[in-house]
Structure 1
Amino acid sequence: MKAIQQLTLVIFFGLIAGCATMNETSRLAGKWKLTESLADPGDGSGKWNAVTNESYLTFNTDGSVSSTDSPNFQTYKVLDSVKLEFTLNDGRKQVVSYKTEGSTLTLTPQCIEACGSKYVKVN
């Protein structure tokens, strides 16, 4: 009987974790327009700057991703509430931190100096 209760708990928490990932995936799904970028020259003086070119990142609910700036991106996977994993054309994986606030998405890849991109959802 105790084994059945433990199994039930494992399944329950697994379903909750899966639902959280699905919620994050559905929140990311859609087309995002790049609005700001952050680049630091190495002295901590980096600031978010407006972007004037038309650049988009599209997350699809099937896990595929496309970008006008990074055509190497093939798929994405929500690892947890703050990390995404992109798979590139050559099979390499790239993990980036992400944060959503309303209709804004901030991506911060692993850089030696501060770097990042901010997007606004367009659909």
Structure 2
Amino acid sequence: MKKLYFILPVLFLMTAYSCDSDDQDTDVDSNILQGTWEIRTTLADPGDGSGTFQVDNSGKRLTFDGNGTVSSNFGMCFGASSSSSDRTGSYNEMDNTIMASVGNCQATYTLADGTLQINYFCIEACSERYAKIAD
């Protein structure tokens, strides 16, 4: 019986602590993603693993709003031009995915150290890195 009195408070504290930290992380990520991001570098691997991120001065921008919509001044898909019709899409913060409204373009994203990295589904590695320019 004495063991039970010791174990129950410990379990309660562990449960309360783990719930609080998860809730805080979700709110921070959501606030960080929303806003306008401008492309800084692009990775397009030739298929042999030798690709590296290169400076990208195209001016491509992505704007994430608070209701799951993302828009761009270029096409949403990797390598799309400014005349592409796929300029809007949706994003899902639960699985970190982006989907263009037109076409079959999907990507995943990560946020780390102030950088948004978009990883496209390509045969070779293809990614873009963005810096936030406005909230």
**TM-score, normalised to structure 1's length?**
0.72
Corresponding residue of 2:124: 113
Q: Which runs of 5+ in 1 are unaligned?
A: 1-5
- Tell me, in whole angstroms, the C-alpha distance in 2 between the residues paired with 1:42 and 1:92: 22
1:74 aligns with 2:85: no
The structure with more strand, counted as a fraction of residues = 1
Residue aligning to 2:79: none
Query: Helix, strand or coil: the match of 2:96?
Result: strand
User: Larger deviation: 34-43 or 91-100?
Assistant: 91-100
Equivalent residue of 1:122, what SS? strand
Tell which structure's C-alpha radius of gyration is larger.
2
Q: Secondary structure at the match of 1:20?
A: helix
Pairwise CA RMSD: 3.0
Which amino acid letter does the alignment assign opposite residue 131 of structure 2?
Answer: V
Tell me, yes or no, if the aligned pair for 1:34 and 1:56 is still in contact at 8 Å: yes
TM-score by length of 2: 0.66
- Rate the CA distance shift 1:37–1:91 in 2: closer, same or farther, 3 A: closer
Q: Give, in angstroms, the shift of residue 21 of structure 1.
A: 2.7
User: In 2 relative to 1, CA 16–116 (structure 1 residues): closer, same or farther, beyond 3 Å?
Assistant: same
- TM-aligned CA deviation for residue 20 of structure 1: 2.9
Alignment partner, residue 3 of structure 1: none
CA contact (8 A) 1:29 1:58 kept: yes
CA distance in structure 1 between the aligned counterparts of 2:105 and 2:125, rounded to whole angstroms = 20
Q: Tell me, yes or no, if the aligned pair for 1:34 and 1:117 is still in contact at 8 Å.
A: yes
Q: Any gaps of 5 or more consecutive residues in structure 2? A: 1-11, 77-85
